């Protein structure tokens, strides 16, 4: 079955620690995205990548970093510089980055930092 | 500037009835795509329907249809014959050329289907 996997589903960290969220897709999609969702709100774009070894900042990139070394993988690191990291994180992919292509989403990772 | 507005924080509908979820958008680009996603309580986002800015016909996918009024910049989602499983958050989204192919999302509408 093709799809996007994110692990783990729930993640707990102490303040001051970096943490990496995994995102893997086997849909052969070129474009991948990371979103943050806070309770009762819509999605905000953190980073996106249109092709391997290339990525761009989204609207709220501060305190986050990404890499895209393989087409199928787009891990997100939440650094200690992110002031309010507790949130629901969603990874997505699309065939390409054109306007017509819908995004497919993973199940999400709920990060709690205390 | 790109913007998506969903003015209904919550909506109630009786099972088997139709419901319309509102969405208005703002873009200066001529080429753009409009999307609706469903987010159940499990959290994952499910793609429902797509409408391109140059499509003359309203999009339909099973019980979902998109009422696209380009001049008014509105892209309302119509769900016919509501089912209990339709209870979820619904997000309107847009992607255009000027936005660097980023997708922006509205704040969402929570739909409650009553038995």
Q: Give the span between the Cα atoms of B68 and B107, in whole angstroms.
A: 19
Interface of B with A in 17-46 (CB under 8 A): 31-33, 35, 37, 42-46
Q: Cβ(B92)–Cβ(B75) under 8 Å? A: yes
CB contact, 8 Å: B91 with chain A? yes
| Site from A4, A8, A10, A42 to mutate, B interface, most B CB atoms within 10 angstroms | A42
Q: Do B102 and A42 touch (CB under 8 A)?
A: no
Neighbours of B92 (CB within 10 A): 28
State residue B101's pLDDT score. 67
What are the φ/ψ torsions at residue A2 (nearest 5 degrees)?
-80, 145
- Provide the shortest C-alpha distance from residue A107 to chain B (in Å): 5
Q: How far is A64 from chain B (nearest CA, A)?
A: 18
Which site among A2, A5, A34, A43 would you substitute to test the B interface, given the most B Cβ atoms closer than 10 Å to its Cβ?
A: A43
Residue range A7-13: mean pLDDT, rounded: 92
CA distance to A99, B9, B113, per residue, from B103 (Å): 9, 21, 28
Q: What is the DSSP string of B46-78?
A: EEEEEEETT--SPPEETTEEEEEETTTTEEEEE
Q: Give the residue with greater pLDDT, A98 vs B23.
A: B23
As a whole number, mean pLDDT of residues B4-20 equals: 97
Q: Is the pLDDT of residue A64 over 90?
A: yes
Q: How confident is the model over A103-111, as a mean pLDDT?
A: 95
How far apart are the CA of A1 and the nearest CA of chain B, in angstroms?
A: 16
φ/ψ of residue B88, rounded to 5: 180, 180
Radius of gyration, CA atoms only, chain A: 13
Confidence of residue B89 (pLDDT cuts 50, 70, 90): very high
- How far is it, in rounded angstroms, from Cα B58 to Cα A82? 42
Q: Is a pLDDT exceeding 60 seen at residue B99?
A: no
| Number of Cβ within a 10 Å radius of residue B100 | 12
Which residues share a beta bridge with B51?
A: B34
Residue of A nearest to B42 (CA): A107
Chain A positions with Cβ closer than 8 Å to B: 31, 33, 41-45, 48, 50, 56, 58-59, 88, 90, 92, 97-108, 110
Residues of A in contact with B66 (CB under 8 A): none
What is the percentage of chain B residues whose pLDDT exceeds 70?
Answer: 97
Q: Which of A3-12, A85-94, B94-103 has the lowest mean pLDDT?
A: B94-103
């Amino acid at each position: 079955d093709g799809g996007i996997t994110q692990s783990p589903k729930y993640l707990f960290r102490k303040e001051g620690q970096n943490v990496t969220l995994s995102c893997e897709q086997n849909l052969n999609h070129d474009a991948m995205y990371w979103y943050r969702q806070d309770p009762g709100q819509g999605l905000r774009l953190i980073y996106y990548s249109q092709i391997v070894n290339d990525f761009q900042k989204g609207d709220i990139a501060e305190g986050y970093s990404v890499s895209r070394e393989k087409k199928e993988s787009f891990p997100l690191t939440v650094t200690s510089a992110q002031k309010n990291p507790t949130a629901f994180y969603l990874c997505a992919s699309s065939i390409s980055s054109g306007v017509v292509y819908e995004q497919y989403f993973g199940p999400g990772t709920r990060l709690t930092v205390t | 500037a790109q913007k998506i507005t969903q003015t209904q924080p919550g909506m109630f509908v009786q099972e088997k009835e139709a419901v319309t979820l509102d969405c208005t958008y703002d873009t200066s680009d001529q080429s753009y795509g409009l999307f609706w996603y469903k987010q159940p309580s499990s959290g994952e986002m499910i793609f429902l329907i797509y409408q391109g800015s140059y499509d003359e016909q309203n999009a339909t996918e099973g019980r979902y249809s998109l009422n696209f009024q380009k001049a008014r910049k509105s892209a309302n989602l119509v769900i016919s014959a509501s089912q209990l499983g339709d209870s979820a958050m619904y997000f309107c989204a847009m992607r255009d050329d000027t936005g660097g192919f980023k997708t922006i999302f509205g704040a969402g509408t929570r739909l409650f289907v009553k038995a």
